[in-house]
Structure 1
Amino acid sequence: MRVQMLGLCRFSYLGLRGFQVEHDDMEERRAFLYDEGRLVRRWHWFEKITLPALRAQTDPDFTLVVMTGPDLPDPWLSLLQQLCEEMPQLELALVPPMRFHLQACKHALLPHKDMSADVIGHFRMDDDDAVAIDYVARAREDFGLVEPAWHKRKAASIDYMRGLVLKATESGVSVEPRMIYNAVAGLTVYLPPGDERSATQLPHWRLGHHMPGLILPDEIMFCRFLNHDNDSGAIGPGYDFDGPPPDAARVLAERFKIDLADINRDARDFGLPQAGRKHWGAT
């Protein structure tokens, strides 16, 4: 069966719902999202954490829709437009502010669904998280493992739950090996092309209500990056790795093309403490 890999990444999208940091009105949220210092940091981590492994995917046949607002200030809007011209896998969706977040995500994804595919492998990621360089290849190949369940329910998921949690503060970046159930990055939701839902419409923390799923914990497949500008910063339910911890610098370089020494310096240069969020860094 032919699987289209289709993902969504929000970059400072202006909308009133779908976020844990709340604001009373659109202007208050605009001031928060479009603060220059915040956008400088968001773009920096997007370039250093998220993009390297996307550029290096062993299977380059995927589409990642980068969703933002048409009034995103320059130079960041121009930078996104240039990036999407350079990387054929990236599609820029300029979605006007919408009160209902799920409607906005549906609006962004719909034009990029391949209705001739047998299955769409939906994934989502924040603009400061990362998936391993073989994520697309694995998610496409491993669909065969859940195909029998998919034929019964026309929905299935695969959770690559072994990952690394990076925490950036004014002291630098710490790395914690972690098994996380249905983390946003590294989770694939397989649906028919005609299904109007996506990985965004189906809450990852209660995915079992909607479909059967498979956990594949063999490889380190994602990075969850916690920093001052996270929306929530919660790690998610899970537990530590068994056995000795991996060589974090080596794994980050080989699996994600991330330079740990480089981002460690960057975090110190930004000099920001952990975010004042209720669940920041909590499991």
Structure 2
Amino acid sequence: MKILKSILQFYINSSIHVGLSCFALVQITQMVFHISQQNAVGYFAFWGTVVGYNFVKYEELARAKRLQLQKQLRVIAVFTLGSFIMTGYYFFLLERITQIGAIVFLGLTMLYTLPFFPNRINARNWAGVKIYIVSFCWVGATVFLPLLNAAVTPTISIGILSIQRFILIFVLILIFEIIDLRHDNSNLRTVPQQIGVKNTKILGFALLVFFCGLEFFNIYSNFNIQFLKLKLNLDIAVAIVITLFLVFANEKRAKYYTSFWVESIPIVWLLLLLLLLLFIQ
């Protein structure tokens, strides 16, 4: 049991789980727009997410020399180095325009993490900015990059999907911010700090209703009406699941509530969509 717990902790602490969530959203985008499974984009997103999240989580502590070199952290450091190499490998398999887009989103991640100003303040400490930067970067990695790499012509459907994906990530982060309310610095001015937990949940509910409503206006080319109806039902089901997580979110929840269960939603979403496709074929 202790070994299984250590494996689970490494799986979460090394950002493999969140990397799989990003990979799942890339695959969903490719499936929705009939893009052949260009694994380079998905693998780049996976390894890049592992590197980015580990860098964000551990860089500040390491720079402040508050990070003890525990055994698991040393393993994570080696794993992150290997992930960086894999990210570079798949980067060079992307189309040139996709590489440029990836560099832009990498720049946003660096801005979010590193202090560029004399007072050593980074974007993570800019009041209320974190949730927007993170949401936009996820839209970039899981919507823009796969579509750029496949040279998909911009359409209204892409705009709607981008808004939906932004809302999805935004609401998921709201759950994280509610759970972390006790530990977050008051200067961060997270959404729950500014409007309270109750109003944060109401905001999340309203955004999820909007998320579902957008699906009624979306038109995916070359999809039959049966698929559209099933996909709409799946999107509503995902929104309901997120709503339940939002309802029961509070400051006393264990870390696995968000770091494992909430971050599992995109993975489960992909698995359900795969089953859906099997069902209509």
* TM-score, with structure 1 as normaliser: 0.30
Higher share of residues assigned strand: 1
Higher helix share: 2
Structure possessing the higher radius of gyration over alpha carbons? 2
